[in-house]
Structure 1
């Protein structure tokens, strides 16, 4: 994919910024003490990141600002859709897992999709932070970044929320389910 393909038209930028602003204003509990004007100014000067946010939006992630890193002066976006993003479900964990399947391969894998989108899978810690902002994945689950020692043994981890509790589970990295996708993060 070339950089040229990663540019949004002026109309697409305006539509995305309008969507993000409306979500920002509707969900102030996710980003207390942050100002939309400062977030928008940052977005307008980082068009590659705006493209990534558009990919998050297009796949059903409903990205929103969840924090500001004062050390790096970056705004942090997470997928905040109620359930795991629809356009990123039915994927195994990574390319190695995808290639290991002999039959019934999924169309894609979470790690490669995230890389193409320019985002990272949430870590377990980030997933738990997200769950403090609302109830997410009560009917679905989401792959999260898997520690190398687990992945080396063929596993991968995913999370969900059931019984008002966040659970972390394991599965073979090659597994995939219609209700399991992944959530991403992006720093701008």
Structure 2
């Protein structure tokens, strides 16, 4: 369902902006001292980024402004859904893992899905930053960017929150589960 020119029709763009504004205003603890008007100006000037945010929204990520990078003059969005985005679960880690499966292949993989959406998969550090703002993935888990040395050995890492603690685990990169997806970030 990828849109080749990555531009939303006007009506969808307006609907997305309304949803993002409502979420922004309901969750001010995620972006203290930021103003929606400035975020909206950036979004309206970056239609391809709006398309990516719509993909995050469409797949259940509930993207919200997580912060502002003064050095690059960019707003940073993270998936803020309570659980791993439902439209991005049942995926293995990357294409190599997907191709290595002989039977029962999942339909997709986290790394390719993120690239197709124009977003980055969260790193372990970003995941831990997100968890400081709430309790995320208390029933699910999310793949996170795996260090090359682990991936070279055919592994991948994922995180979740249990017992009021963020845990990092490992699995074979070809593994996939109904309750594991991935969270992404986008800079605008």
TM-score range, shorter chain: over 0.9
Alpha-carbon deviation of 1:158? 0.1
Residues 18-97 of structure 1 aligned to structure 2 (within 5 Å): 18-97=18-97
- The ranges of structure 1 where at least 4 consecutive aligned residues each deviate by more than 2 angstroms after the TM superposition are 1-4
Q: Report the Cα distance in structure 1 between the residues aligned to 2:119 and 2:22, rounded to whole angstroms.
A: 22
**Number of residue equivalences:** 187
> Per the alignment, in what secondary structure is the counterpart of residue 150 of structure 1?
helix
**TM-score normalised according to structure 1 size:** 0.98
Q: 1:56 and 1:3 mapped to 2: Cα distance?
A: 16
Please give the alpha-carbon distance, in whole angstroms, between the structure 1 residues aligned to 2:148 and 2:56: 26
Q: Residue 34 of structure 1: SS of its match in structure 2? A: coil
Distance between the aligned counterparts of 1:175 and 1:152, measured in 2? 15
Residue 146 of structure 2: aligned partner = 146
* 2:168 counterpart SS class: strand
**Aligned counterparts of 2:4 and 2:151: Cα–Cα separation in 1:** 31
Q: CA deviation at 1:48?
A: 0.3
Root mean square deviation of aligned Cα: 0.8
Cα shift at 1:125: 0.2
**Other-structure match for 1:156:** 156
* Alpha-carbon distance between aligned partners in 2 of 1:124 and 1:2, rounded to the nearest angstrom: 30
Q: TM-score, normalised by structure 2?
A: 0.98
What residue ranges of structure 2 are gaps of 5+ in the alignment? none
